[in-house]
Structures are given as C-alpha cells and as structure tokens.
C-alpha cells in the first residue's frame, strides 16, 4: 500500500478490517492449538502422541506465518501512521510487539530451539531419575547458548536475560523485577529465621489421614461451586500437572488428587480456579484480539495466587469452608477452623522442593533460580558450576542443603524447555496479588466477612472491573496503576506476610 | 515452474516433496478440526459454542485456501506430467479430485451454503418439534436450489444428483448405486412381506427391563475389550449422537446409554467400534496423506455394519457375549443365546423411524429418501409435495403411513445440512459389508467358531490386509475387486439376509 499519501478515513477503516481479520485468524489458530494441548494432557490416549505433535507443529507454523507475513508488517505500518482510537491502538501495539519479536529471529534458530527442547525433556527426565547432572549438562549448555543467540537477534543492544524475561513478562522491566525479588530475599530470610526461632506450637496435622480420590473430586467441585465457577463455561478434570486453559467462552480447570494430601488438592484447585476465573472475565466481544486476551504471566499468576493465598489460606475461608469439607469427610469433625488455618499456613523450613513450598519460602526458591539463570545467560556462571552454586544458595537462603541434584537443580522442568526468565513471574504474581487484594479491600472494605460467609461476588466484581475486563488494553504497569493507584511494589506483599505470619507465629518483632 | 521442458528427476523429487508438505499440512489442519469437533460433541461446556464456531471456521478456511492455492494447482500439473510410482500417483489422484471440486465452486456460494445450513438446522429442529413442514419448506427449497447451483459449477454436463452423491462416494457411480438400491427394494419388500405373513413366534423381549447406565458403560467397555479395541489408541465416551473420529494414532468411540435399551447401546458400540477399528488399521506411515486416510463413506460404513451385523447380530456372537453380559447384568441369567439372537434380529414391520430400523427394513427407509431427494434435485418433485410422496412411499414399501411429518419427512437431520446424496452410502455400506464378510469366509473358512470363541484376530487381520492398510491407495471399485475378486454387487447381501431371515422366521420360500 502506498504510504506517501495520508490515508483517507475509508482506507484506514478497510486496512483496519483486514488487519483485524488477520489477527482473529491467528488467535483462532492459537486457541485451536490450546484445545489440542488440553486434549493431550487430559483425555488423549498415549498412542496419539506422534499425530498430535504434527498437528500442533502445523498450527504453530501457520500461526507464525500469518503473523510474520509481509502483509502483517504493511498493515501495521499503515495503521501506525494514523491516529487510532484507544482500543485499536492497543491491539496494534500488542501485535506489533509480537511481530517484531517473531520476525527478528530466523526460522532455523526457532526450529533448532524447538528440536533441542523436544530432546532436552527426556534427557532431563532421565538425569533427574538417575540423579545425574552430567547427563543434562550438555543439553543445558546448548540451550543457554541458543537462547543467548535468540536474545541477540531480538535486541542486540539489550541485556540478553532482559530479552528472555520479556517473552514472559513484556511490560515489567527487569530492573523492577530484580528490585522486587531482592526485597523479597532481604525481608523474607529474616522473617523465616524468626519463624524457625519462634518455636511456635502450630497445628500442622489437621489434614493428616487418607482421603478417597472420588470424595476429593466431589470436594474440588464444592470448592469451585463455592467460589462461583461458571460450569456453563468450564469443567474440572484431572491432570498430572494441574493447569487451566481456554478462552472467555470455555476456561477449564484441572487438578490432581493424592490420597494423602487433601489440602494440596484443595489449594491447587483454588489456584487453578483463579487462572480460569481471570480468563472467564475477559470481555466476550474482545475474543480474537488482544483485547480479549489475558495480560501476561505475572498478572495471570496474580489471579491464581490471590484466590489461593489471600482467600484460600485465610482464617475466614476455613471458617466458611471447613463445614463444607466435613460433609464429604466426616473425619474432619474434630478439626477446628483455626487448626485448618494453621495447617494451611505452616512454614516448612527444611523443604528443598519449590512446588511443595509454603507462601514464604516459595520466593527464596524463585530467587535462587533467578540468580542462577541470570548468571548463566550473562556468562558469569558455567553450567558445570550450577549444582554447587544451587546447593550453596539453598544453604545460605533456606538453611538446607540438597543431598542430591534430583532434589536440587534438576527438580524443575523449566530449563529443559529453555524457559529462562519464566520463574520470576511466579513471585511477581504473588506480589501483585497482595497489591490487588489490598486495593480491593481499600475500596470495598475488609473482605473477611464476605469470605467467612462464602460471598465472593464483591471481590470478583472488583477484579472483573479492574483487571479482567481490560484484557491487554493496558500495559501491565498501566493496569496496575489504574487498579491500585500505585506503581508495582512489594510493599503490600511484605506487609501482608509480615502481619499474617507475625501473628500466626507470635513473633515479637513483627 | 516451466512446463515446456521435461522435468529432471531431481526437480520432480523436489516438486513432490513440496507437494507432500502441503498435503500433510492440509491433513493436519483437518485432523486438528476433528479434535475440536470431538471436543465439542463430548466434553465442551455449552458456553464454548461461539468461540468454537469461529475456531472451526478459521481452520476450514485455512484448509480450503491451502488446497485451492495456485501453488497446489501448479504442483499437481507438474507431477501429473511425469510418471510417478503407484503410491505417489494415488496421492496425486486424490488431491487432484478435491482440488478440482473445491476450485470449481465460487467461495461466495460455499459460504452461502454454509450460512444457509447453519440457519436451516434450528429451523428444521423447530419444525420437527412442532410438526410443521411448512416452516422447513422454504429453507429446504433454498438448499435444493443452492445445491443444484453447486453441482452445476462442479460439472455442468453431469446429472446434478450424481455430482452431489460423488461428494460422499466419489468412485461408485450413481448408476451402480441405483442398481443396487433398486435390487434391495425389489427383493426386500417381498422378504419383509413374507416375514409379516409368517407369524413366527420369535423371542423379542430378551433385553426387556431397566439397565443401569454405569453398568451399561462397563459392558460397553467389555464389548470393546472383547472385539480387540486398542485402548492405547482410543477411548470411549458418551455423546447424544454416537460417532467415532480420529486418526490411526487415536481413533475414539462414543456411544449412548438408555436405561430401557441395553441392546441398542451394545449394537451402537459395536457399530462405532467398526468405524474406529478401520481408522486404527490405516497405515501409520501414510499419516498426513490420502494413503493414511480411510476410503469414503460406503467403505467406512461397510466396516461398522460388518461388525454390527455380521458379527454382533450373529448367533455365535451371542453364544460368546451373553455370559459376559450376565456378569454385569445377572438379570440376564435366564436368557438363552438363541433368545438374545432372536431379540437382536427382530424385524419391525410397523416402524416409521430409520434409526430404529432393523437390518432389513432399514434399506427401504434409505430407498425412499434416495428416490425423493433425487427427484428434488432433478426438479421432478416440488418441495411442497415431499410429505405426500414420503407418506405414500412408506405405505407402498413398508405398509405403514406416518401420522405426522415429525415421524415422517422431518425425522432426519441430513437435509437440513444440505446433505443430498449422503443417505445411499448407508445402504451401500451394508451391501459391501456382506460382500467383504463373504470374501473373508471364503478365504479363512467359516468364522462362526471364531466368533463363538470371541476370537476376532483372524477376521480383523483379513480386514487389515485387504481393506484398512490401503487407505485411499485404490479407488473404491479397485479396492472391492482386489479384496473380494468381484465387482460391487448386492448378491452377497441378498444371499445373507434371505438365508438368515429365511431360517430365523422359518420361511418356506427362502
């Protein structure tokens, strides 16, 4: 299209329509792939793997080709040369970002990363099973190298780790993330130390026992009922690694059941509800464009953590929910809400495993990964040094030292996916959850009574209005500022945990 | 590519590779759409409909555009100008056929048909519910007109009904189909009359009673186990309208349970097993091309009917399966295999509904639809005359006259889909099933003992070798000729039903 003349209104409208058609098409292909992945995790028979891999690879190529086609670039340039209404400008901004990223990296490199990670996964699995870091090391080296190369293509002038981080969290800059993570480390280490020293007599065994899987499933449905999950637009299934996925028309939850871990299935279900509930709050009429898509990983995680921690690990929640749980499990008859609350908030000072961590130590697990992967990408750390550094940091921050790499630096799947820069978003999500919950209470008044009465409409209405309905209309900092009146900060999270755990463990200095 | 010089071997190889990539891509998109449709029918929450419709429409457009792109035409022309090995030639033949069809019809007409059928479906549903043919008539008229137009585009010189029929059954010509259907009508009408007159004292109530849905599901799994369904590449679920779908890596079965119709769920499960079992027998290395795809509707239906009727409605099957069924339903204790066999083969002389029909009257239901839709498309019959003609034909062929159009010409969904030419493939499938079963017994010897012992490997091995493994390598007539040594004929089917029902109803003249 000629760009040497100002576009008339009519051509802009036509151009925009063509652009939106293309964007919707890309979105539909991605959402179709989402259905295929849900199917693969939840219902697909094992034999289906080879065909599914090909189907997903084809959809991914088509979506990539549609996005990076010359026409997309021309449409973007045309639209950017004109002044657009706010909503359209936001769509163009988001597509431009993805377009620039995907066009800057050569297809062969993308393919090499994809093949390397496909092979890295079984290698990592074997290495973890046999506690043999040496086996995983060459693959990890290769992935670090490829991801560095990738970052170099995207932006040769930027800190490569910042480039990778932006794949998961495009609008919070790395300095902000680092400042937040540093504050978590500096304030949580003494808090956890104080808890260890406090020698408090908390109830830890309220949920000890064996709980039938089918009854646990019924209770998971009770949890979702109670929180207001919309079953007409969702469903609950089991998956080895719980997740939620879908669109505002159909956002599904998965969970898992372990007969010896009733609490784990409840909190995991609430966590996934938070994700799905965000998706279900995206505007219907935005479907197919970024306006109908969730903001990135930190915001998504803020929604799951808000429900899991601020609601699900609160005292009033257990006052509300324990009677529900007793209906399914009469053996909980003698447990008091306070005991349930205490058991749900036990701080494990000797735990090595991130996914089993509590609300406090969790972030030290993340900080350790952040520091290590950042040093790996910058070249300050060799892959061969990872186990030693990992173990040293665990000793320093958490006071425990893994006996094996399987329980140490081999425990997480993420690096085998080449996902460097992903981990921080977990902590940023928790931090943002606290900031949002505080803002909601600031506006609505304390929510304890609501939670105690199992009334979540007000809280959810606030989240819908201030977070969900906006999709990707605002950047993350804009969204946070509008919702909370404040910049992104760890203040609220620190205040929340210090007050909660200070009271729970009767800590004088908190 | 230049076509004025003979292609060298190298360029042919490159051209072929490019062609195959394109074909595989189209196939993967279609298979992805298949997963989305399975999901929609089986697990999708109702709220998901609007997004799913968009996802499917996008995948369908992409697949259409890939197929009808100029590049596809050029690749086809290049490859056709050279002599190709048999397998590649078969792939080219199949893609050429689809390419010619899809490029011959203007996109606007395809879209108009698609929109009209989308709206026709709720109109038909309402018309059937209120028994109001007048409401459906204008839509049906529109669809007849659009489909005539469609046929005119595909081949202006051909009988338009033959063109439509070829969408479902491309390689059996309409004359052959008509000859077969005429013979069915001419021979089944007197056979059914003889059965009515025979006044035989058959057991009809072996499966009378109420049967728990969960136990029926367990029994459906027993059925699939017993027939050798490969659970590593499949699964069983429920759906309001049972179907099977998937690929050779993952071919799933659905069924339905009605507490008052145990026999129906068993036969429906066996029927769908037959479809899925065909799909699972397609060659793995053909995945992505027509060599790994099932031949068309008649052959597919031959596989479901072979298992449903020749196996599942046979005397030895009930000798084998009744003890299995008794494990789930002790109330069947007093039923004998002979009584089960008789109940599974009752001929309903007063039934108006196709989907409830037995093995004999079924084909008269089909013949009536075939004769009516053919006359509609040729213009020999007006839409307004359909109810009258329908009822007259039911009286003439089946000796029953519907009281309502809801139980008459409004009973089937197919015309609301614009699917004129689809119905005959149901009967052709039954006819082919008999021909294949006879050929299998000719080679393997009588299979009754195998069936009685629940041993299906030999039969299935024969089907794998003679039908499944070939995918679309041969045209349907070639496939039939190679598998049975005979052209497609109703002889075997007529011999089968006349012998079976002659014995069952003790008919002197049979």
Per-residue model confidence as pLDDT tens digits over A108-165: 999 999 999 988 999 999 999 999 999 999 999 999 999 999 999 999 999 999 999 9
Q: Cα separation of B62 and B30, whole Å?
A: 9
Q: Cα separation of A13 and A82, whole Å?
A: 11
Nearest residue in chain A measured CA to CA from B35: A36
pLDDT of B9 reads 60
Per-residue model confidence as pLDDT tens digits over A265-303: 999 999 999 999 999 999 999 999 999 999 999 999 999
CA dihedral B224, B228, B232, B235 (to 10 degrees): -20
Closest listed residue to residue A460, CA positions, set A290, A307, A315: A307
The ipTM estimated for the assembled molecules is 0.94
Nearest residue in chain B measured CA to CA from A250: B48
pLDDT of B4 reads 46
Per-residue model confidence as pLDDT tens digits over B66-119: 999 999 999 999 999 989 999 999 999 999 999 999 999 999 999 999 999 988
Closest listed residue to residue B300, CA positions, set B450, B494, B423, B430: B430
pLDDT of A3 reads 44
pLDDT of A478 reads 98
Instruction: List residues forming the annotated binding site of B for Zn(2+).
Output: 271, 275, 301
Is B80 marked active-site? no
Mean pLDDT of A181-191: 97
Nearest residue in chain A measured CA to CA from B49: A249
CB pair distance less than 8 Å for B51 and A25: no
Mean pLDDT of A182-201: 94
Residues of A in contact with B248 (CB under 8 A): 51
In the set A272, A293, A373, A498, the catalytic residue is: A272
Q: How far is B278 from chain A (nearest CA, A)?
A: 16
Mean pLDDT of chain B: 95
**What confidence category does residue B283 fall into, taking pLDDT thresholds of 50, 70 and 90?**
very high
Per-residue model confidence as pLDDT tens digits over B233-268: 999 999 989 999 999 999 999 999 999 999 999 999
pLDDT of B271 reads 98
Mean pLDDT of A255-269: 96
pLDDT of B8 reads 57
pLDDT of B82 reads 87
**Burial status of residue B17 (CB atoms within 10 A of its CB: 0-12, 13-18, 19 or more):** exposed
Per-residue model confidence as pLDDT tens digits over A431-468: 999 999 999 999 999 999 999 999 999 999 999 999 99
CB pair distance less than 8 Å for B25 and A248: no
Q: Cα separation of A419 and A432, whole Å?
A: 22
Residues of A in contact with B288 (CB under 8 A): 54
Q: How far is A396 from chain B (nearest CA, A)?
A: 48
**What confidence category does residue A205 fall into, taking pLDDT thresholds of 50, 70 and 90?**
very high
Across-strand partners of A255? A238
Mean pLDDT of B48-71: 96
Q: Cα separation of B100 and B79, whole Å?
A: 15
Position A355 pLDDT exceeds 50: yes
pLDDT of B349 reads 79
Give A299's contacts (C-beta < 8 A, 6+ positions apart). Answer: A278, A429, A432, A467, A476, A479
**Burial status of residue B314 (CB atoms within 10 A of its CB: 0-12, 13-18, 19 or more):** buried
Give A253's contacts (C-beta < 8 A, 6+ positions apart). Answer: A224, A229, A234, A235, A236, A237, A242, A244, A269, A272, A273, A275, A276
Q: Cα separation of B37 and A35, whole Å?
A: 10
Q: Locate B343 and state its tokens.
A: 């109940």
The neighbour count for residue A340, using CB atoms within 10 Å, is 23
Q: How far is A402 from chain B (nearest CA, A)?
A: 38
- If interface means Cβ-Cβ distance under 8 Å, which residues of chain B face chain A? 24-25, 28-29, 31-33, 35-36, 39, 43-52, 54-55, 57-59, 61-62, 230-235, 246-250, 252, 284, 287-288
**What confidence category does residue A510 fall into, taking pLDDT thresholds of 50, 70 and 90?**
confident
Q: Cα separation of B42 and A44, whole Å?
A: 13
Position A2 pLDDT exceeds 50: no
Nearest residue in chain B measured CA to CA from A237: B43
The neighbour count for residue A475, using CB atoms within 10 Å, is 18
* Residue position matching structure tokens 């003249």: B509
Position A309 pLDDT exceeds 90: yes
Position B175 pLDDT exceeds 50: yes
Structural domain spans, chain B: 9-104
pLDDT of A1 reads 40
pLDDT of B6 reads 52
Compute CA distances A359 → A304, A305, A349, A434, whole Å.
Answer: 13, 10, 12, 12
Per-residue model confidence as pLDDT tens digits over A163-172: 999 999 999 9
Per-residue model confidence as pLDDT tens digits over A11-62: 778 999 999 999 999 999 999 999 999 999 999 999 999 999 999 999 999 9
Closest listed residue to residue B147, CA positions, set B459, B454, B377, B443: B377
Per-residue model confidence as pLDDT tens digits over B312-330: 999 999 999 999 999 999 9
In the set B94, B169, B217, B272, the catalytic residue is: B272
pLDDT of B389 reads 98
CB pair distance less than 8 Å for A32 and B59: yes
Strands across the sheet with B250-255, in order?
A: B236-238, B250-255, B244-247
Q: How far is A309 from chain B (nearest CA, A)?
A: 28
Report whether B105 contacts B377 (CB < 8 A): no
A121 labelled binding-site residue: no
């Amino acid at each position: 299209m000629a760009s040497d003349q100002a576009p008339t209104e009519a051509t802009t409208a036509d151009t925009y329509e063509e652009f939106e058609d293309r964007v919707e098409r890309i979105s539909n292909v991605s959402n179709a792939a989402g259905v295929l992945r849900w199917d693969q995790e939840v219902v697909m028979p094992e034999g289906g793997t080879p065909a599914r891999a090909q189907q997903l690879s084809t959809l991914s190529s088509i979506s990539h080709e549609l996005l990076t086609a010359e026409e997309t670039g021309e449409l973007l340039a045309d639209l950017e040369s004109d002044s657009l209404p706010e909503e359209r400008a936001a769509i163009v901004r988001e597509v431009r970002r993805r377009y620039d990223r995907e066009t800057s990296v050569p297809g062969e490199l993308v393919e090499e990363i994809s093949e390397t990670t496909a092979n890295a996964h079984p290698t990592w699995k074997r290495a973890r099973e046999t506690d043999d870091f040496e086996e995983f090391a060459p693959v990890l080296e290769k992935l670090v190298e490829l991801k560095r190369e990738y970052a170099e293509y995207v932006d040769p002038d930027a800190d490569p780790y910042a480039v990778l981080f932006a794949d998961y969290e495009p609008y919070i800059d790395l300095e902000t993330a680092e400042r937040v993570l540093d504050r978590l480390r500096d304030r949580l280490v003494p808090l956890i130390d104080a808890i260890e020293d406090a020698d408090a007599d908390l109830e830890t065994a309220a949920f000890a026992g064996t709980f039938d899987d089918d009854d646990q499933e019924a209770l998971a449905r009770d949890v979702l009922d109670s929180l207001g999950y919309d079953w007409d637009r969702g469903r609950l299934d089991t998956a080895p690694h719980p997740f939620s996925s879908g669109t505002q028309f159909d956002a599904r939850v998965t969970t898992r059941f372990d007969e010896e871990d009733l609490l784990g299935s409840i909190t995991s279900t609430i966590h996934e509800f938070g994700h799905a509930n965000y998706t279900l709050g995206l505007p219907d009429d935005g479907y197919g464009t970024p306006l109908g898509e969730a903001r990135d990983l930190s915001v998504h995680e803020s929604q799951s953590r808000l429900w899991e921690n601020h609601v699900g690990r609160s005292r009033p929640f257990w006052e509300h929910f324990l009677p529900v749980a007793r209906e399914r499990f009469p053996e909980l008859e003698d447990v008091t809400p306070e005991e349930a609350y205490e058991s749900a908030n036990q701080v494990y000072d000797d735990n090595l495993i991130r996914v089993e961590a509590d609300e406090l130590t969790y972030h030290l697990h993340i900080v350790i990964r952040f520091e290590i992967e950042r040093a790996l990408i910058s070249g300050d750390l060799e892959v061969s040094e990872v186990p030693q550094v990992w173990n040293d940091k665990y000793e320093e921050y958490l006071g425990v030292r893994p006996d094996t790499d399987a329980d140490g630096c081999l425990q997480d799947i993420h690096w085998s996916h080449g996902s460097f820069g992903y981990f921080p978003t977990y902590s940023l999500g928790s931090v943002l959850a606290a900031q949002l919950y505080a803002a909601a209470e600031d506006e609505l008044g304390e929510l304890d009574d609501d939670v105690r009465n199992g009334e979540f409409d007000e809280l959810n209405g606030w989240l819908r209005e201030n977070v969900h309905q906006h999709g990707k209309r605002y950047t993350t900092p804009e969204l946070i500022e509008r919702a909370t009146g404040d910049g992104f900060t760890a203040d609220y999270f620190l205040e929340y945990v210090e007050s909660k755990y200070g009271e729970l463990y009767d800590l004088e200095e908190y």
